[in-house]
Chain A
Amino acid sequence: MAAAALGKVVGPGDRVLDVPEQGTLRLSAGLTTHDGAVTSLKGGVLKSTRTGQLFLEGRQKRYIPAEGDVVVGVINDKHSENFTVDIGGPFNAVLPQLSFEGATRRNRPNLHPGDLVYARVVTAHRDTDPVLSCVDTAGRASGFGHLKEGMVLSCSSALARQLLGSPTAPVLEALGSGLQFELAVGLNGRVWLSAPTAATCVVVANAIAESEFRTPAQVRTMVARVLSRLG
């Protein structure tokens, strides 16, 4: 019955499905129980994660940090033990100076206010500052850390999730076959892009922004047209 409801579009306050007599239901973002039924707290599409948690995916501009998200942040401040990072959420996040690969008390990361970092959210609660980390759980960098040069593109959380999804988003596949660029997608609606030339950067940024509401076929046609004009 939970599987049957997947893909259902609901508005805030709608009854999504009835709580089953037996078994367990794991609810995540945007869902709660009320009067024996699972009710939605916001508008969106009912989806399920790989591990079986039900959540609502909606299109929202404001980013609310959640544990396990990857984000692109801007360093605001450097304190003795940690950095304050702006991730576009309600609170600024805290990034400990030792949460970098190879960082020790003597060997601290050389980051300054204004630098960009790619980090994952370690803890995020309603009432406190989120805590970030630039290493994965095993202690390796895995692509996290300082993002040098490049530009940042703002997008909605839904587009960011599409770009991070597997299979690879069609726009990225199509662009990757013709151009050379590097990108880091943050679930906070920020995408960092870096390419050998500024023209490539701009082309990639525009293509990604345009691809949000197009079907894969339309995206491929658009990218092919752009690449051919680039020559």
Chain B
Amino acid sequence: MSAVEEERAVCVGDRLGATDTYAAGEGVFVRDGFVIASVVGFQRLEAPPAAGEKPTIHVASRDTLPLVPKPGDIVTVKISRVAQTAAHALIMCVGRQALSTEFKGVIRQQDVRSTEIDRVVIYDCFRPGDIVRAEVVSLGDARSYYLSTAKNELGVVYARSATAGVAMVPTSWVTMQCPETQAVEKRKVAKLESLVTA
């Protein structure tokens, strides 16, 4: 086998190295003891995480690793539609990285919070247009990922008021207030470190 070269353009099906020398990263798969590219792109070698382990091969197009939400990721979503039993959202970022394509997610009534889950009123937690921090629970069904906001640090991070359309200020974990009209609206607010005082 020829030695693996850095930044080489590879095609789907190209053999990149043997599994006893290299570990498989993103954009590759393992078959018959070889690491083989599964996407078209540039091959990149990552140094081994600890001494004595194998370096990892990744294949990525256009300088970024292909990013797809996985269960356990913290994602930033924008609520698109609110129904009686669920809130539908578009996943815009995974962690700190923005996605180039939007994925659909849904926050079901039982995943909004961890207490009294059968008495949740979705309209008092989310409204269309809110930016929400959520966690991916599972790959969900054919249409959307299943998301959850059932932790203190998950929930609405940015919302505009219904009447004035200005960004609201959180006043408690269940309410936000509009600075112009002083109207109070209910939301499931995220407990971000910047908001907790002392």
Contact of B123 among A32, A94, A127 (CB under 8 A): A127
A128 close to B163 (CB less than 8 A): no
B148-198: which residues lie under 8 A (CB-CB) from chain A? 162-163
Interface range on chain B: under 10, 10 to 19, 20 to 34, or 35 or more?
under 10
Which A-chain residue is minimally distant from B128 (CB atoms)?
A127
> Once bound together, how far apart are the Cα atoms of A129 and B123, in whole Å?
10
Flag whether B113 is at the interface (Cβ < 8 A): no
Number of A-B residue pairs with CB-CB distance less than 8 Å in the complex they form: 17
> Once bound together, how far apart are the Cα atoms of A128 and B126, in whole Å?
11
**CB of A78 to closest CB in B, whole Å:** 16
Flag whether A105 is at the interface (Cβ < 8 A): no
B84 close to A94 (CB less than 8 A): yes
Flag whether B65 is at the interface (Cβ < 8 A): no
> Once bound together, how far apart are the Cα atoms of A167 and B162, in whole Å?
38
Interface residues of A, dominant DSSP: loop
A127 close to B127 (CB less than 8 A): yes
Interface range on chain A: under 10, 10 to 19, 20 to 34, or 35 or more?
under 10
Which B-chain residue is minimally distant from A131 (CB atoms)?
B84
Contact of B82 among A32, A94, A127, A131 (CB under 8 A): A127
A129 close to B162 (CB less than 8 A): no
B162 close to A126 (CB less than 8 A): yes
> Once bound together, how far apart are the Cα atoms of A125 and B81, in whole Å?
13
Contact indicator per residue, chain A 23-46, by CB within 8 Å of chain B (1) or not (0): 000000000100000000000000
B128 close to A129 (CB less than 8 A): no
Contact indicator per residue, chain A 106-149, by CB within 8 Å of chain B (1) or not (0): 00000000000000000101111101000000000000000000
Which B-chain residue is minimally distant from A81 (CB atoms)?
B85
Counting chain B CB atoms within 10 Å of each CB, the highest count among A94, A123, A128 belongs to A128
Flag whether B83 is at the interface (Cβ < 8 A): yes
> Once bound together, how far apart are the Cα atoms of A40 and B82, in whole Å?
29
* Residue numbers in B under 8 Å from A128 (CB-CB): 82-84, 122-123
* Residue numbers in B under 8 Å from A127 (CB-CB): 82, 123, 127-128
> Once bound together, how far apart are the Cα atoms of A30 and B20, in whole Å?
73
A32 close to B163 (CB less than 8 A): yes
Counting chain B CB atoms within 10 Å of each CB, the highest count among A123, A125, A126, A127 belongs to A127
**CB of B194 to closest CB in A, whole Å:** 28
* Residue numbers in A under 8 Å from B83 (CB-CB): 128-129
B59-96: which residues lie under 8 A (CB-CB) from chain A? 82-84
User: 17 A-B Cβ contacts within 8 A?
Assistant: A32-B163, A94-B84, A123-B123, A125-B123, A126-B162, A127-B82, A127-B123, A127-B127, A127-B128, A128-B82, A128-B83, A128-B84, A128-B122, A128-B123, A129-B83, A129-B84, A131-B84
Q: List residues of chain B with CB under 8 Å of any chain A CB.
A: 82-84, 122-123, 127-128, 162-163
Apart from A127-B82, A127-B128, A128-B123, what 4 extra A-B contacts exist at CB < 8 Å?
A: A125-B123, A127-B123, A128-B83, A131-B84
Q: List residues of chain A with CB under 8 Å of any chain B CB.
A: 32, 94, 123, 125-129, 131
